[in-house]
Amino acid sequence: AQGYIFKESNEPDNDSDNPYRGYDGPLKVTSYLKNRQNILFDVFEKSGEEAGYAVCKDLNGHRQEGFGPFDMTVDANTGKRCSAAEAYLRPALKEVSKEKLDVKTSTLVRKIIFDEDSLIGDNTPRAIGVECEDLQSGEIFEVHADKEVLVCLGAVGSPQLLMLSGIGDSEKLEKVGIKERVVHNTEVGRNLQDHLEVYLQYLCTKPVSLYPIAQWSLRYFPQRVAVGLEWFLRGTGICSSNLFETGAFIRSDAGVEHPDIQYHFIPGCVVGQLDFLPQHGFQIHVGTLRPTSRGELTLKSSDPKESPNIDPNFLSTEEDISDMRKAVRLADELVQQPVFAAYKGERFSPSPSASLGEDEVIDEWVRSSSHSAYHLSCTCAMGKVVDENGSVYGVSGLRVVDASIMPSMTSGNLNAPTIMLAEKISDHINGMNPLPESSLEYFTPDNWKSSQR
């Protein structure tokens, strides 16, 4: 896997002799260690040091436990986000003809088409194309495959399409009106995993947070225009950052060998998912990395336009509940460190009256305030729905290539690992040998069995 991470990434910020980094891949990656956008990022890292944790320059290097700058998929030269489309699709559109690559927008894939003869008797069903609908005109049309159909719709769309096409739990498919059942596999849509997060928020006593720039207010319109112009003209400044410039990976307890808690720090307080609190503040995104709860995705009907049922089943195990309590308390400990004294105001969420020493108080707050980290995965898991190369069990000519085929989540964000997975399967499809296994070593604390830090 490490070799494919190198293959995808392009990180001009880092030393070119760093063996843990890639430098000539299509995915632009940077961090703002050299040009921090806000002083509170440094304060957060210092709080970790004061609490007894390590501060690391590179959390994707040898030591992946501690506090330090977070990488972001931003082109350091332009300040623009480098998505998978920007890194892979748009260059390909410029390099190949429309006969080889034709992108259809406003188009819904309704179901996978199978060769009719292959559905007879003991034959192995063979995928030969997809049925689509133009969502603007309503036209139904088919696209046929010369070799294979690749499904890359994510942890929700991919299992939904398989089930709409007759691949899944036959009893459940029959109940929603799927007449043609191709492969009976009860694991399709199951094993749903996601990271759960909650925001620990404090008001800030100094005017150094993202407010007022993050506020839609005429009062601060000139400041907003200024930072926008800086980004348009130079590709620098606050608008060139995803504002998650620092964070941490720590262990929840002694006996945990590698980090199972992740913190993202942001110099502002977000209300809901989009709006900023109209006051100076800061927040720590608190999340556990290896939850044991498992959810499920099921069809509501045979209509491909109807969204499926998504049950993440968060906090359904006592272990997950306990780990989240630890993560919250360890996060609040950081804000009590001396370095935060000059910035820390009243706690905003949970409320100042909430006692974080009481399990029931934390549990209630987490259940009422937490949300998805948007890391849905594992619903077409390797070993259950697909093999190690993404080929769907029980049929031929059909692969799934996205985060849904992970058997379990990675202990961190899923963007880079998902692209890595796609790079590896792409090599297999093209008949190339996989890259050699990496021999790089990673840090494990000597005292992990007896100490939390």
- Could you give the residue numbers annotated as active site? 375
Q: What are phi and psi of 198, to 5 degrees?
A: -140, 150
Q: What is the Cα–Cα distance from 66 to 261, expressed in whole angstroms?
A: 10
Q: What is the Cα–Cα distance from 418 to 427, expressed in whole angstroms?
A: 14
Q: Rounded to whole angstroms, what are the CA distances from 112 to 106, 170, 353?
A: 18, 16, 55
Q: Where are the alpha helices (DSSP H) in 70-220?
A: 84, 90-95, 154-164, 170-175
Q: What is the Cα–Cα distance from 55 to 66, expressed in whole angstroms?
A: 6
Cis peptide before 212 (omega within 30 of 0): yes
How many other CB atoms sit within 10 Å of the CB of residue 310?
19
Q: What is the Cα–Cα distance from 243 to 237, expressed in whole angstroms?
A: 10
Q: What is the Cα–Cα distance from 168 to 224, expressed in whole angstroms?
A: 50
Q: Rounded to whole angstroms, what are the CA distances from 355 to 198, 351, 358?
A: 16, 9, 6
Beta bridge partners of 314: none
Residues 6+ apart with CB under 8 A from 29: 9, 10, 11, 13, 71, 72, 73, 74, 82
What is the rounded (10 degree) CA torsion for 78, 83, 87, 90? -100
Burial class of residue 133 (count of CB atoms within 10 Å of its CB; 0-12, 13-18, 19+): middle
Residues 6+ apart with CB under 8 A from 217: 278
Looking at residue 263, the DSSP 8-state letter turns out to be E
